[in-house]
Amino acid sequence: MRELAELSRLCADLARSDLSPEILERMISEFAGHGLSSDLARKLFSLILEEGERIRGRGASESGLKLREFASRALELQRMGREIFRLELGEPDFTAPSSAVEAACKAIREGYSKYGPANGIKELRASIASKLSEKFKLDLKPDNVAITAGGTFGVYGSIEAATELGDEVIVIEPAWPLYAHQIRWLGRRPRIIRTRFEDDWDPVSMIQDEISRMTRLIILNYPNNPTGKVLDEKSMRAIIELAEDHGAWIMSDEVYMDFCYRDGFKSILELGAERAIMVNSFSKTWGMTGFRVGYVVSDAEMVARVARAQNTAITCIPEFVQRAALAALNDEEAARRNIELIGARLKILYEELSRSRLIEVKPPEGAMYIFPRINVENFDSWRFAWKLLEEKGVAIAPGACFGQSYNNHIRISAVLDEKPLREACRRIREAVEEYS
């Protein structure tokens, strides 16, 4: 017991100190001297670092994981017969194009329902490689692409493939909450960069201040969920340079790549970064959220590592789903229609919310969200969201879901037609006035 007490005190002292990469290297050396693995040293180091972040109040928030519970309540109220305007999830109201549905049914009838390769069928990988090569003037091959269980597993597999236990991963907030959750789940440590509304959500100088020798991956998401921010080429190149200087990978989550409503967006694939992974999905552009099909693009070795992670977790993506994705990929008219629809709705959200003196909102640049700041003293985004749902019949996502610093924000998804969208905005304005 004495040894356990000493270990506890040592861990507490370390958590309250500034830990450096040199300490990790010493821990690995000491552990090896006692026949213990470097993975154990990394895991312990990571846990102590994260505890230190928690003590200092800088840890990543888990409140975003409660959003699904909130959405379940909205659905329950709908089923009870109440009119509920559902704006809380990033799920388009349009569904998969008929070409994809027909391709899935045809593939099932033809027997494409058996085990397949972990990295996806070659036809789909080749088609993605060809279209991206044409779009970005590249020479991608099928081996540069792996098909994943939605963008979610694309992110998960990329974190696992690009990092090791105890490694630091930079997350730029406000952010999709599963980034930090997956990082911790895999025994890595999220390093949170908290960008600000008044700085136009610019992350570059903050990354420069926070990146270190322990950083092994930087996660980018532009156009951004939840802010809609589009990062310009100059900023992207600055981040790439920082990553290369520190030997870190960049994972660029580009699931909203097609939903870009201002000039200047550049995919990570266009910018020549050597250690880069692009993640994308069929969920948004083609309204195929339930199909669970996405993909990663990187060098052949990294793609193979992501595929091995997927093989371990879920074996493969159903082939009939992949054949539906292949049909969707070639249905450019459906994609164009959906992109234009979301753009028009974002303009409506901006127009309607700007009517309130208490709601501060930036012009939409991309993605399918708007992330206004609510200028009300002691505003609590969760409390407001519940009151709005129960009293006004409107479901939105609390800003606190996307980081602890954003409790005075709300996220609204552009997933309703014009008439209900304007009515939902009217109720939001009314609720904000009442809250104040």
Q: Is the peptide bond before 318 cis (omega within 30 degrees of 0)?
A: no
Burial grade of 11 (CB within 10 A; 0-12, 13-18, 19 or more): middle
Whether residue 216 is predicted with pLDDT greater than 70 in this model: the reply is: yes
Task: Name the residue with higher pLDDT: 139 or 8.
Answer: 139
d(CA 225, CA 367): 7
Tokens matching residue 43? 């895991």
Q: What's the one-letter identity of residue 93? A: D
Instruction: Kindly report the number of other CB atoms within 10 A of residue 378's CB atom.
Output: 9
Cα separation of 227 and 397, whole Å?
12
Query: At 121, which amino acid appears?
Result: I
* Topology, domain 111-330: Aspartate Aminotransferase; domain 2 (3.40.640)
pLDDT band per the 50, 70, 90 thresholds, residue 436: confident
Q: Measured between alpha carbons, how far is 129 from 137 in angstroms, rounded to an integer?
A: 11
Cα 175 to Cα 194: distance, rounded to the nearest angstrom: 9
Hey, what CATH class is 63-89+334-435 in? alpha beta
426 exposure class (CB count in 10 Å sphere: 0-12, 13-18, 19+): middle
Whether pLDDT at 159 is above 90:
yes
pLDDT mean over 20-44: 80
pLDDT of the residue at 31: 84
The SS3 call for residue 32 is helix
Mean pLDDT of the chain: 92
Helix/strand/coil (H, E, C) string of 363-374? CCCECCEECCEE
pLDDT digits (tens, 9 = 90+) for 264-281: 899 999 998 999 999 999
First-to-last C-alpha distance (Å) of the chain: 55
Whether pLDDT at 434 is above 60: yes
Whether 119 contacts 316, CB under 8 Å? no
Write the pLDDT tens digit of every residue in 340-364. 999 999 999 999 999 999 999 999 9
Residue 108 corresponds to which tokens in the numbers above? Answer: 């099932």
Our CA angle for 315, 320, 323, nearest 5°, is: 110
3-class SS at 356? coil
pLDDT digits over 391-411, tens only?
999 999 999 999 999 999 999
Note the pLDDT of residue 344: 97
**pLDDT (tens digit per residue) in 170-200:** 999 999 999 999 999 998 999 999 999 999 9
Sign of the torsion angle spanned by Cα atoms 78, 84, 90, 93:
positive
The pair phi, psi for residue 58, each rounded to 5°, is -110, 5
Condensed to tens digits (0 to 9), the pLDDT of residues 273-312 reads 999 999 999 999 999 999 999 999 999 999 999 999 999 9
**Two domains, one topology: 63-89+334-435 and 111-330:** no
**What percent of the chain stands above pLDDT 90?**
80
pLDDT tens digits, 76-134: 999 999 999 999 999 999 999 999 999 999 999 999 999 999 999 999 999 999 999 99
- Local structure of residue 263 (DSSP, 8 states): T
Name the residue ranges covered by the structural domains of the chain.
16-59, 63-89+334-435, 111-330
- C-alpha distances (whole Å) from 339 to each of 92, 332, 372, 416, 423 are 11, 11, 22, 14, 22
Pick from 436, 420, 261: nearest CA to 359? 436
Residues 414-418 have a mean pLDDT of 96
| pLDDT score, position 261 | 95
| Backbone torsions φ then ψ of 133, nearest 5 degrees | -65, -40
Burial class (CB in 10 A: 0-12, 13-18, 19+), 117: middle
Report helix, strand or coil for 62: coil
**DSSP structural state of residue 199:** G
- Torsions phi, psi of 112, nearest 5? -85, 65
Pick the range with the lowest mean pLDDT from 30-34, 150-154, 217-221: 30-34
User: Minimal CA–CA distance to 231: which of 202, 207, 205?
Assistant: 202
